[in-house]
């Protein structure tokens, strides 16, 4: 899609978050169609980036080579904005009549687009909140498993220690003398 003269370039919104894995960090790189690095972050757990786009293919990369022993679960979202300008032009074709009618239809169109924009922002925020919830849930489940494991280890040690204590006390009161008759 080639932008027309006077039109704003579409914006790319990129948000990412590491949900699960050791350290909850990852490297991120965003490269433009001209092979220019637009964003480069090292060992970040989350990020939000806004980039003005141009024609071509963008490349983004999540890199976990610094932590090869643990795998990571990553949530990411790509949103292209300002794509609705062509839709507004389609609406304007159907507007006919007096200036008063034009103004009222323009006001209605502006209100509808405002509601649409706010709804898309609220959907975006809810998606990010779900990602935060998923990360926190993974951390809680990991902590729950760790607590259960160490509780079982402590229980096993306590059972072994109590068995040794019973045996030692029992051996103290045994009569080891041999009786000859």
What would the pLDDT profile of 15-64 be if each residue is shown by its tens digit? 888 887 777 888 999 999 999 999 999 888 888 888 888 888 888 899 88
Shared-domain flag, residues 97 and 127: yes
Shared-domain flag, residues 101 and 124: yes
Query: Tens digit of pLDDT for each residue in 88-139?
Result: 555 555 555 555 555 677 788 888 888 998 898 888 888 888 888 888 888 8
Say which residues have a Cβ less than 8 Å from residue 9's Cβ, sequence separation at least 6.
3, 52, 53, 54, 82
Shared-domain flag, residues 96 and 151: yes
Among residues 24, 48, 83, which one ends one of the domains? 83
| Number of domains forming the structure of the chain | 2
Strand runs (DSSP E) across 21-160, as ranges? Answer: 26-31, 37-44, 46-52, 59-63, 73-81
Q: Which domain holds residue 142?
A: 84-175
Q: How many CB atoms lie within 10 A of CB 14?
A: 19
Question: According to the model, what pLDDT value does residue 1 have?
Answer: 36
Confidence of residue 161 (pLDDT cuts 50, 70, 90): very high
Higher pLDDT pick, 119 / 69: 119
Choose the most confident range, by mean pLDDT, from 84-98, 143-157, 164-178: 143-157
The pLDDT of residue 85 is above 80: no
């Amino acid at each position: 899609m080639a932008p027309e003269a006077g039109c704003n370039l579409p914006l790319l919104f990129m948000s990412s978050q590491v949900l699960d894995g050791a350290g909850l960090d990852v490297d991120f790189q965003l490269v433009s169609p001209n092979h220019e690095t637009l964003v480069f972050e090292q060992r970040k757990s989350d990020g939000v980036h806004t980039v003005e786009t141009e024609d071509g293919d963008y490349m983004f990369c999540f890199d976990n080579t610094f932590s090869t022993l643990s795998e990571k679960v990553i949530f990411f979202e790509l949103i292209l904005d300002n794509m609705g300008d062509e839709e507004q032009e389609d609406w304007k074709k159907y507007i006919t009549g007096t200036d008063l009618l034009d103004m009222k239809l323009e006001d209605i169109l502006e209100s509808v687009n405002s509601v649409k924009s706010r709804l898309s922002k609220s959907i975006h925020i809810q998606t990010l909140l779900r990602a935060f919830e998923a990360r926190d849930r993974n951390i809680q489940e990991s902590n729950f498993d760790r607590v259960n494991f160490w509780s079982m280890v402590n229980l096993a040690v306590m059972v072994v220690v109590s068995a040794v204590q019973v045996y030692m006390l029992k051996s103290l009161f045994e009569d080891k003398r041999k009786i000859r008759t």
